[in-house]
Chain A
């Protein structure tokens, strides 16, 4: 029994950390920048495809491919923000939905055209292949990747927001763009950078979580509700909330897969419904320091 609980926790937490890496950028754009970005999962998919290309076609080392894949997702997002996204920040939410769902379908069509419609594996280096004996069970070694990267992302995001000048300017900009602009903050640049950083993290999550959320053209649509659920349950704009929500949802779905596989997905959405009925603003609203 104990080993079952430990297995659920380990697998659930690694799955949750993948969800966190992909979704945390969305909590910034949706909760703080108030931009409804349904295309966020596209950046995770881009990261996955980029890493697969770097490793398989160019023969780059996995770790380097991982970093470059995140950079590719960030750069594409930066370009899209400048070319398209910033034009709809002030537009009604329906316009934002239409633009970003359009980007999702373009992403699906383009990736299907370039990479085909089947799953694209990311070849792992020797040290991540096989399994690791944990004493009570063995675990695929590659599952350490989301565990390590997820925790590093959490620490990195905290440092970025709380301990950097960029972080304080981003918080000022999303809080009161007009006042931030009057102080001389280049709010457009801050928004573009935040959008790109969120997308780069999604790209990282796309690579790190490829075992659990395989890379394929329909990735952005298939997992969209899952990413939105993390943001909604955690409380839009709340980074720590997204972390807790991702771990919670990841663990509940994993527990469902272990205990009653046919109800696993239902368990996840049932949890989401219960949380949002109880707290429509999410588990954690943006905190205030008294």
Chain B
């Protein structure tokens, strides 16, 4: 299967400090890849480089075989390379439906249109309804985001990403800060992500990693330490000693 995303020899330095070291990785349709590593390993930096938040010092990011390294985050998002953020970035005074509408308007390139009317309005409303249904947020559509439980807020954040119709979705700690009692909301949502979507996720919660990942990349000091299936990583003595042991 052709890769959706291919990262070649990606590097990043801040002055003399190299935070990403010659990283190679690929994401194919349907992939569920977890990026793990100790704090400071450079996981978020790597996602920032792939999504275009940061410019790399060296290497390439390819999407569908085309170089996107020189494109802005917005241009990459338009091509289907979407990320969520570690800290929720939502419109807290807006309703869930309006938050999704903003994303749908941007996705459909209606930035210069003023009113709601016309066929484009149907397109927007259909997208909003689809995501609300997929994430089981229909009952929350007219609630202000600020009044949702934290887990639900993270779900809306995922909804904003999904309405952009990603081909590769990068989730930065999707369950971070979500209380145990609400974690099933996130688990269910990740489990039900579209099958053809390529997913790369950073996560510290090992239950979540081993539940959803089909491949795990261990990052240490900005470089890929090892890659493997969950079973291979779980059996890797070095990883256990260095990271899993530390995490437990």
Contact = CB atoms under 8 A, between A and B. Distances in A.
A163 B94 CA distance: 13
B89 A176 contact: yes
A183 B142 CA distance: 21
Given A166-B114, A290-B143, A290-B147, A185 B106 contact: yes
Contacts of A288: 93, 144, 146-147
Contacts, number: 72
Q: Which of A168, A171, A288 has the most CB of B within 10 A?
A: A168
B116 interface: yes
Contact of B143 (A166, A180, A289): A289
B91 A175 contact: yes
Main secondary structure of the interface of A (DSSP, over half): helix
Q: Which of A166, A172, A185, A186 has the most CB of B within 10 A?
A: A172
A185 to B, nearest CB: 6
Interface residues of A, number: 22
B115 A172 contact: no
Contacts of B146: 288
A180 B105 CA distance: 12
A165 interface: yes
Contact of A165 (B89, B110, B142, B144): B110
A165 B113 contact: yes
A180 B102 contact: yes
Contacts of B78: 184
A176 B90 contact: yes
B68 interface: no
Interface in A150-181: 163-166, 168-169, 171-172, 175-176, 178-180
Nearest to B120: A165
Interface string A43-86: 00000000000000000000000000000000000000000000
A164 B78 CA distance: 23
A185 B143 contact: no
A262 interface: no
A257 interface: no
A133 interface: no
A179 B105 contact: no
B111 interface: yes
Contacts of B111: 169, 184-186
Nearest to B91: A175
B103 interface: yes
Nearest to A169: B102
B200 interface: no
Contacts of B160: 183
Nearest to B146: A288
Q: Which of A169, A183, A185 has the most CB of B within 10 A?
A: A183
B79 to A, nearest CB: 12
A165 B94 contact: no
A34 interface: no
Interface in B89-146: 89-95, 98-99, 101-103, 105-106, 110-111, 113-116, 142-144, 146
Interface of A: 163-166, 168-169, 171-172, 175-176, 178-180, 182-186, 286, 288-290
Given A182-B89, A183-B103, 7 more contacts: A166-B114, A171-B93, A176-B91, A179-B89, A183-B160, A185-B106, A289-B143
